Amino acid sequence: MWIGVKTPLHHVTWDILRHTWQLADACQSIASAWVFDHLGPAWGDPAGPCLEAWTSLSALSALTSRLRVGTMCSPIVFRHPFLLAQMAASVQQASHGRLAVGIGTGSKSWESDGLGLDDGSAGARADRLEDGVALIKEALATAGPFDFSGPCYEVHTRGGVLPTLGGWPRPEIVIGGRSDPVLRVAAAADHWNFPRGSPAEFVDARHRLVQYAHRLGRPAPTCSAHTVWESHSGDQLSAELHAWEAAGADGVIVALPAPWEPDEVLGLAAAAAGFVL
């Protein structure tokens, strides 16, 4: 089981974020690093600072050399999927092939409302996610004229995004979420991430995911769980990681509470050292 670290981008400075990622990059027991994607602080002072996800990720990918890097996760409504495909291809080059594109429907209504966007029902958001992911995959696989017509998006451009990958493979597509409409989308992705919840809830959601994948005639994607390390002791964190391993998680992404000190990632690395990457 692999262990990743997630760094919220609110209530933190760039220097702390950079230092944390570079420390994590030097810790062999930490396999990946992730940023959240919000328009402002997701908790705490709503008027506080919040760095933007993809510009931060691009810089961080160039400042690290080993970690798999990604978003966990980008609401599909924030950026047009073709633009997101271009951004992903650019970061894939900058990271030398280490990118995982985490995408979801978005869970904060204040963000879509603040942008004047119609968030729609859960089913409508999942439809937008499914169509957007299909567009991203096709754009990343197309070199010549690109035409896409789906229920939510239509694109006609002079060229797809394949050349922007610079010879690197398409980045992994990760879907985050636990509702049945989202699990149906995740069943066709490369990886699925279970948001914060219990190992028992993870097992139930994974069972449904496997059923949806089988209906598509494909094996289920690999699966990881998301948890938040609330500055527990290393023993407590290690016990929680073992619980996720027993539940069958292929990986666990541990989010740091914000604000944090960069060397807190060393405690995570110590707890992760006992797991096979």
Instruction: Specify the pLDDT at position 111.
Output: 74
Instruction: Specify the pLDDT at position 133.
Output: 98
Q: Is the pLDDT of residue 277 over 60?
A: no
Instruction: Specify the pLDDT at position 249.
Output: 98
- Tokens of residue 133, six digits: 């992911």
Token pair 């027991």: residue? 29
**C-alpha 254, offset from chain centre:** 12
- Tokens of residue 38, six digits: 């919000």
Q: What confidence tens digit (pLDDT) does each residue in 194-249 have?
A: 998 999 999 999 999 999 999 999 999 999 999 998 766 778 899 999 999 999 99
Instruction: Specify the pLDDT at position 232.
Output: 64
SS in 3 state form for 152-174?
CCEEEECCCCHHHHCCCCCCEEE
Instruction: Specify the pLDDT at position 276.
Output: 64
CB 191 within 8 A of CB 223: yes
What is the pLDDT of the chain when averaged over all its residues?
Answer: 94
Q: Is the pLDDT of residue 118 over 70?
A: no
Q: What confidence tens digit (pLDDT) does each residue in 85-109 have?
A: 999 999 999 999 999 999 999 876 7
Q: What confidence tens digit (pLDDT) does each residue in 30-64 have?
A: 999 999 999 989 989 999 999 999 999 999 999 99
At residue 121 the predicted structure's pLDDT band, cuts being 50, 70 and 90, is confident
In the chain, which residue ranges form alpha helices assigned H by DSSP?
Answer: 14-25, 53-63, 81-94, 109-114, 122-140, 180-186, 199-215, 234-246, 264-272
Angle at which helices 14-25 and 264-272 pack, to 10 degrees? 30
CA distances from 249 to 98, 126, 177, 191, 223 (A): 21, 24, 15, 11, 6
Query: Which of 57 and 114 is assigned the larger pLDDT?
Result: 57
The closest alpha carbon to 70, from 86, 52, 54, belongs to: 54
User: Amino acid identity of 252?
Assistant: V
Instruction: Specify the pLDDT at position 119.
Output: 65
Instruction: Specify the pLDDT at position 230.
Output: 74
**Average pLDDT estimate for 180-192:** 97
Domains of the chain: 2-272 (3.20.20.30)
